[in-house]
Structure 1
Amino acid sequence: MNTANAQSALAPPTVASSDGTLLSVSAEASSTRVPDIAMISTGVVSRAADTATAMRQNAEQMAKVMAALKQAGIAERDIQTSGINLNPQYHYQQNETPKITGYEARNTVSVKVRDLSKLGKTMDTLVAQGANELNGPNFQVDKPDEAYDEARRGALEKAQARAGMYAKTLGLRVRRIVSIDETGGYRPPVPMMRAMAMDAKNAGAETAVAPGESTLSVNLNIVFELGR
């Protein structure tokens, strides 16, 4: 049995024996969608001389942040605590043992924003209510299955066309597909965020964000059997 490789890196683990020629083809296709949700991480960092004060101040400020999220229309199911930390703060001086100067309390939550038209205002409200940590947004497609299926069909059509071309050139025909291996990927858009200076002239301005487009790709590694 002869073997022809369009992609030399491909080597299926097991292939049923036949009198045909095996052709390994790799094809990729993508589908784009406008993101409809965004993930942000926000929280409060508090520092104080002792642990109790640091935790208490952090809890008080974090309560305001959580209230701001609910006021912005974020459902409880879309808010998840991602970390609570309490760590000593040290003063370092050469040739001396580090000394504890205080404690830092940190509480962060992951937030899913489903209404992107309110994303900028939500982020501004969080900061106004005491959040001093804010990361994101990470834009996503909430239900990507349709886009992935679209990419799968495109990749399959490419692979079949390529296999047909090889078969025709060799004076053969495509008998069947022996195996299909799929890998996929999600390329999120690079978020464009512009913080507006809050001065007397634009006190009503809010942080501007642009979701752009997300690319969802599928790569198929397909082994075809060619024959007469």
Structure 2
Amino acid sequence: MIATRIARTVHVAAVAAAFAGALASAAAADDNVAGKGDKGRLDGIRGRQAVIKVSGEGRSTTAPDMAILQLSVVKDAKTAREALDANNKAMEDVLAALKQSGIAERDLQTSGFSIMPQYNYPQNNDGGNRPPELVGYQVVNGVSVRVRDLTKLGEVLDKSVTLGVNQGGGIEFTNDKPDAVITEARKAAVADAINKARVLAEAAGVSLGRLIELAEQPDRPEPIPVARSMAKEFAADAVPVATGENAYNVTVNVTFAIEQ
């Protein structure tokens, strides 16, 4: 029994001595850092590198070389069969005319189709509920058209309406292969970011270090319409169209190290 108590006492004393030694080592380390002054403190946090982070924007413009039209044929009739037959005939004429105008098969794509009942809602003057009356059906057939020769755009619109297109209004000017103009926008964005970083470094009294990170924002640049004078001439009986130009914007995020 006495031997057990002695063993426990020796164990506790050993733990206490080890703990005291750890405290002494920590205090000595603190004294060592304090003896170095501010430089010692800076060395302690130098694992976090000082950097400059900036965003750069670049823009490049070009004339569009393609238009995408959204056209629809809408027909109403007493029965769904009659409405569909009338719509089919009109759309067949429209598609034939588009092909005759030089639109390739690959540039014609059905973009929507619907058959909808049409109701008449009688006025209720006696306070009772009167059910709606079915009066007919409406068929809508939409087509997406890529026009690659913009000199024919007005003619295509005019013929389409003449042959049965009676709903639409969607038109988008774009570029078939915008890679070259997007490359120019990227170069401008990086140059803008570098210039911003240099200005910030100069204002802060430091030197710009190595490039740490360069990333483009993930969204693919899409054309933004920019107004300009129309450079194309159209036939007198065609729909007048102004093509303008497209701008492609690119944004990059850049991180530079700071050399002190």
TM-score grouping bracket, smaller chain normalisation: 0.7 to 0.9
- Give the length in aligned residue pairs: 203
Residue identity matched to 1:205: D
Name the counterpart of 1:22.
51
CA distance in 2, matches of 1:190, 1:156: 26
Structure richer in helix, relative to its length: 2
Provide, for residues 40-97 of structure 1, a one-character-per-residue CA deviation record: whole Å limited to 9, x for no partner. 0112111010111111111111110110111111000000000110000010123311
Task: Indicate the percent of aligned positions where both proteins have the same amino acid.
Answer: 39
Provide, for residues 19-46 of structure 1, a one-character-per-residue CA deviation record: whole Å limited to 9, x for no partner. 5311111121100100010010112111
Name the counterpart of 1:54.
83
Q: Return the TM-score normalized by structure 1.
A: 0.82
| Equivalent residues of 1:137, 1:191 under 8 A apart | no
What is the 5 A alignment of 1:82-101? 82-93=111-122, 94=124, 95-101=129-135
Q: Note the C-alpha offset of 1:168.
A: 2.6
Q: Secondary structure at the match of 2:241?
A: strand
Of 32, 43, 53, 2:61 maps to 32
Q: Note the C-alpha offset of 1:158.
A: 1.3
Q: Note the C-alpha offset of 1:190.
A: 6.4
70 and 81 in structure 1: CA distance in 2 versus 1, 3 angstrom threshold: same
Q: Return the TM-score normalized by structure 2.
A: 0.73
103 and 50 in structure 1: CA distance in 2 versus 1, 3 angstrom threshold: same
Q: Secondary structure at the match of 2:216?
A: strand
CA distance in 2, matches of 1:210, 1:54: 35
| Equivalent residues of 1:121, 1:207 under 8 A apart | yes
State yes or no: 1:67 paired with 2:96. yes
Name the counterpart of 1:188.
225
Q: Note the C-alpha offset of 1:134.
A: 2.9
CA distance in 2, matches of 1:63, 1:185: 33
Of 191, 194, 213, 1:157 maps to 191
Structure richer in strand, relative to its length: 1
